[in-house]
Structure 1
């Protein structure tokens, strides 16, 4: 059986590793558009962008590992078409690559600003892959003025790196508050205060009207929808991502908030699986995508087992993280549908956890510099247990006792 994997990120690397760990000794071909082997994405917008991590440390496995494991790497090569009936992937140059089992780990790509509002100007950046980081890093010069568009975790991480690099940072968020789509107001307040303490000018409830360029098409300013004009030297756009589904869509696979998969990570074609940011799956009756390293690993490993005929069901265990300044945020669960949020103070000044409940059921925890609250909350959620919120958030309560109670 020849297994072909399209994509070269966390999901692809995890799937290949699981196949070999489970004893599969057939041929594997990895097709990746970038010229480097699979690497970690999260450090790109943090340690790597700050110059604190070398490129080789990003690699999920040493480049030599793939040869040792008899994995054929087709790097710097795009898959341009898929024919599920013939079980053939077409690569750039019109090369046909047949497969017996195919795994789509195509990931996602960042949303960009339209050209009409200046998205085409030089000095406007997104942050998703190694090339993005390498292009942006020399622009982060102390004293320069940067506009960050978007107040989600991508935008906030970019703002933190820019502020730590000594830039003057203005962040604009069109919604009423930062993190509005993904966190409760109390978490928004916590991170607003954090960024304000580091000199970031956060403007909420105001969108970007247009970026302004000079005669050389280099960004020099921005006009906001409230009429304010800003002088800037560069802009970083962090307004979300889109699942990379073009290959699957044009091949006729089912698309529903990403490449639709079943409990076994199969797509609508029985010989094709999908994992990672590009794939959607069911969670508590809702079709979601988990845009996280943990989700990519778990789903990819389940897909690998099912490629081998194990018929293993994939049950998502949502968890996420974000690093901003000296704060390590860990999130357990999904907070969709929360009805109330309770705050538990942490041990230090920059330490706390926010516990989300939906009609009495614990569904998520945001933990800032509080790994114990995160770990206990995660285990409680996975076990379907919901301690009384007054008890859970009482600093006098031993968190570990909640697991025994």
Structure 2
């Protein structure tokens, strides 16, 4: 057979395989999805069967083209696991990442990773996805063993939906059948003109960022943390283990303003102050100034006051990394790529998951974008189940947030809180924070909408999602009169 005939045969075989197994290229399968209904049915193929469009030629740089995931974050890792569980990864799945390592549990970067060297800090490969949910540690070898092609340090910079092609920063041209956008978020930065890029100014989004910060912490004396949210609280707590002069600066009236009530925030602030952390509230940064060595030396506030610092950590939020996929459809209100309850975009065969997805939050009847590892894991699984099976069950996510701080050796008190649900309505706070505290959010119909618990037992933490999901009608007067957190949780449990 001539080479031309061999190429033609490969093209025909590849096209046939795509029609059978890639929903993005199968109109019948797409119509089935749009129609809804029916129980989920897993389509399984022999685990070692290799499918690749590579044989068709065309000058593309990825061998595995049936399914392509763009982005190498946590959601990509959990999506890969689901592909493997369905026997659909080997020779079919390609992941394109800007990072030099496989997906990992990103929350570790602002927690255990920042411990001093003598305190056994977290390091890779210890926290590769999917150990955060009790799964396998998916190292580089794991992806190779499961036939998954991973292109490292080569982010996608251009996208063509008509030709189903992608271009990477190195100039590689990639082909896909079905595409999953898992690009996550990027840290919001201070403008360069006010010192946002000075040496000694840090942002945390990946391992390289965390390594750079650890290096600075080892030499630092005075640090400034800009932002009173997750990053600010977790980095400041870690800095206490380095015995550094630490100041948190933020524009709001209290820390964690999007979740904490003023009363709850006050208790955490007091704990941080007991550990030597200082707070400057209601303040805005005017500029960061450099010293004679070119490194950051101080933060100048809008009121003219100056706070000395040889290391600055900026934690002022993040923005969804939608480029270069804006044409797929961006939600103007919450940002991110808009998807339906099965994580399908407006373009057949293209999906979006994790932080970058603007999805229907079913239980609260609104479009939302959730920047949290729990949603990254669950959205990845739900999306791949949709892609590989006849599943039509809508994603029904229960918002969940948590934090763990002061967990280093020698800490006077380890802190671990969890929150489930929606923080709307009247609040009822029970407990004195020593050792625990709970806050309940109750709407005008006396329905429990959200619940927060600090330092609970595993059984107590396990109750929280039940309460937030069920939204039972509770007796506010009884909750307010509860003598302890345990009593309050019993009252709420009795309403289920």
Q: TM-score, normalised by structure 1?
A: 0.94
- State whether residues 111 and 242 of structure 1, in contact with CA within 8 Å, keep that contact through their aligned partners in structure 2: yes
Partner of residue 374 from structure 2, selected from 269, 273, 294:
294
Aligned to 1:274: 352
Equivalent residue, structure 2, for 1:158: 235
2: CA distance, partners of 1:398 / 1:232: 44
The residue that corresponds to 1:109 in the other structure is 186
Q: Quick one: structure 1 residues 58 and 98, their matched pair in 2 at CA, closer, same or farther if it must change by over 3 Å?
A: same
Residue aligning to 1:36 = 101
Tell me the CA shift for residue 63 of structure 1.
2.2
Deviation at 1:193, TM superposition (A): 1.2
Q: Distance in 1 between matches of 2:141 and 2:478?
A: 52
1:107-145 superposed Cα distances (whole Å, 9 cap, x missing partner): 111111112221121110011110000001021137600
Q: Deviations over 1:7-62 (max 9, x none)?
A: 11111111111122133256000111011000111111111121421221021112
2:149 counterpart SS class? strand
2:442 pairs with one of 357, 362, 373: 357
TM superposition shift of 1:95? 1.9
Pair 1:195–1:40, CA change in 2 (3 A)? same
Q: CA deviation at 1:400?
A: 5.4
Shift of 1:182: 2.8
Query: What is the number of residues matched between the two proteins?
Result: 401
Give 2:405's aligned residue. 324
State the secondary structure of the residue aligned to 1:329.
strand
Structure with higher helix content = 2
Alpha carbons of structure 1 residues 354 and 203: separation in structure 2 relative to 1, 3 Å = same
402 and 187 in structure 1: CA distance in 2 versus 1, 3 angstrom threshold: closer
Contact 1:142 1:167 in 2 (8 A): no
Distance change in 2, residues 1:19/1:389 (3 Å): farther
Look at both structures and tell me which one has the larger radius of gyration over its CA atoms.
2
Query: How far, CA to CA, are the matches of 2:392 and 2:320 in structure 1?
Result: 26
Worse-superposed segment, 374-383 or 26-35: 374-383
Is the CA contact 1:171–1:201 (under 8 Å) kept in the aligned structure 2?
Answer: yes
* CA 402–340 in structure 1, closer or farther in 2 if over 3 Å, else same: closer
Conserved 8 A contact 1:146-1:168: yes
Contact 1:305 1:312 in 2 (8 A): no
Give the Cα separation in 2 of the matches to 1:221 and 1:247.
36
- Aligned pair 1:68/2:154, yes or no? no
For the residue of structure 2 that corresponds to 1:169, the secondary structure is: strand
Report 1:120-159 matches (<5 A): 120-141=197-218, 144-159=221-236
Distance 1:112 1:397, change over 3 A: same
Q: Deviations over 1:174-209 (max 9, x none)?
A: 122222233221221121111111111111111111
Q: 1:334: how far off? A: 2.5
Helix, strand or coil: the match of 1:397?
helix
- Taking the aligned partners of 1:142 and 1:80, their CA distance within structure 2 comes to 37
Kindly indicate whether the alpha-carbon contact (under 8 Å) linking 2:328 and 2:337 is maintained by their aligned counterparts in 1: no
Instruction: State the match for 1:178 in structure 2.
Output: 255
Q: 1:34 to 1:111 in 2, by over 3 A?
A: same
How many angstroms apart in 1 are the aligned matches of 2:292 and 2:431?
53
Name whichever structure is richer in strand by fraction: 1
- Deviations 1:131-182 (Å, cap 9, x if unpaired)? 0000010211376000110111111111111122111001111122222233
Structure 1: unaligned runs, 5 residues or longer = none
Deviations 1:242-288 (A, max 9, x none): 11111211x44333421111111111212111111111112222221
Deviation readout 1:211-260 (Å, 9 max, x if unpaired)? 111244311112112221122111110101111111211x4433342111
Tell me whether 1:399 sits opposite 2:463 in the alignment.
no
In structure 1, distance between residues paired with 2:82 and 2:211 = 31
Aligned-CA RMSD value: 1.9
Out of 380, 390, 393, which is 2:467 matched to? Answer: 380
CA distance in 2, matches of 1:235, 1:328: 25
Equivalent residue for 2:422? 334
| Aligned residue in 1 for 2:113 | 48
Q: Which runs of 4 or more aligned residues in structure 1 lie more than 6 Å from their structure 2 counterparts after TM superposition? A: none
Distance 1:139 1:400 in 2: 47
The answer on whether the counterparts of 1:141 and 1:166 sit within 8 Å (CA) in structure 2 is no
- 2:29: which partner in 1? none
2:127 to 49, 58, 63: 58
Mapped to 2, the partners of 1:402 and 1:39 lie a distance apart of 36
